[in-house]
Structures are given as structure tokens and as C-alpha cells.
Amino acid sequence: MKLQLTLATLALAASSLVGAQPSEYYVWKNKTTGATMCEPDMPADKWTRESGPYEDSNCKFKKPT
């Protein structure tokens, strides 16, 4: 019984790792100042998404589509 519980726990843990993926990053531009930044989520209301998604937090490597 203990072995079955251990195997079930390991299987559940392994299945959750398979679905995990890194965040997608986007270049955001401020509507007021024109400043840009690379973030996974919109920083605030005055920002619009310029380009993306990117694989890295520097927005240098485009994610393949």
C-alpha cells in the first residue's frame, strides 16, 4: 500500500512538471512618454504591447510560432 501511494505521488508530481512552461515576454510602450520595457504582463493602463512574444526577459529572442 505504501509503495502504491509513493508511486501515485511521484506520477502526480511528474505530470505537473511536464505542463510547466516559462512566461512569454512582450515589449510594452508607454503611451505618454514613449518609453519601452520588456515584461510578461502589462505594467499599467498607459502601456500598449508593441511586439512579442519573446523567450527571454530581455526581449531579444522571438518565440517561434
Please write the tens of the pLDDT for every residue from 16-39. Answer: 556 666 789 999 999 999 999 999
pTM: 0.65
Whole domain around residue 26: which residue ranges? Answer: 22-65
Cis amide bond preceding 53, omega within 30: yes
Local structure of 19: helix, strand or coil: coil
In a domain? residue 35? yes
49 DSSP β-pair partners? 28
In a domain? residue 9? no
How many other CB atoms are there within 10 angstroms of residue 53's CB atom? 16
In a domain? residue 15? no
How many other CB atoms are there within 10 angstroms of residue 1's CB atom? 5
DSSP-derived secondary structure letter, 11: H
In a domain? residue 57? yes
pLDDT tens digits, one per residue of 39-65: 999 999 999 999 999 999 999 998 887
